[in-house]
Amino acid sequence: MLENQQTLFERVGGKQAIGELVDKFYDRVVADPELKPFFKNVSMDKIRRMQREFFSAALDGPNIYTGRPLGYVHHGRGITKHHFSLYVGHLIHTLQGCALKEQDVQDIISRISTYADEITGDAASGG
């Protein structure tokens, strides 16, 4: 299959690569003193499992995200655009350490950023 015909999931390296990516990424996220409090009293095994599913689905992989809607899961947690920006920054650094093409990194960031309003609660504030 030609590169431009592959899904982003395939270009990243598939299921195993997504699993490794999520593990490295969340190691960075929970080490961040501003983001760590959001993960207090939550199962990191569950978070990582759901994030593997989420990333696979978001990158056109074969998995379907079975978790609750993002707006519901993150509602009332005090996540701001600043927090989301920190999260994305850790994702960028993680992706850049995975020997991906710059275009693939940008495509992943673009896809994940489409969920910013749901995660920060800004989607509900518009109307």
28: left (phi over 0), alpha (psi -120 to 50) or beta: alpha
Percent of all residues in the chain with a pLDDT value above 90, rounded to a whole number:
76
Please tell me what DSSP assigns to residue 68: P
Q: What are 12-56's pLDDT values in tens digits?
A: 999 999 999 999 999 999 999 999 999 999 999 999 999 999 999
Please state, in angstroms and rounded to a whole number, the distance separating the CA atoms of residues 54 and 69: 11
Q: At residue 4, does pLDDT exceed 80? A: no
Biggest CA-to-CA distance, the chain: 44
Burial class, 105, CB count within 10 angstroms (exposed 0-12 / middle 13-18 / buried 19+): middle
Return all residues near 71 (Cβ < 8 A) that are at least 6 apart. Answer: 118, 119, 121, 123, 124
Q: Are 124 and 71 in contact (CB under 8 A)?
A: yes
Q: How many of the other CB atoms lie within 10 Å of CB of 31?
A: 10
Domain positions in the chain are 8-125
pLDDT computed for residue 125 by the predictor: 46
Mean pLDDT value across the chain: 91
- pLDDT over 50 at 111, yes or no: yes
Q: How many CB atoms lie within 10 A of CB 38?
A: 17
Cβ atoms of residues 95 and 108 within 8 Å: yes
What's the whole-model pTM score? 0.88
* pLDDT of amino acid 122: 78
The fold for domain 8-125 equals Globin-like (1.10.490)
Looking at the predicted structure, is the pLDDT value of residue 109 above 80?
yes
Report whether pLDDT(123) > 70: no
pLDDT tens string 56-85: 999 999 988 998 989 898 998 999 999 999
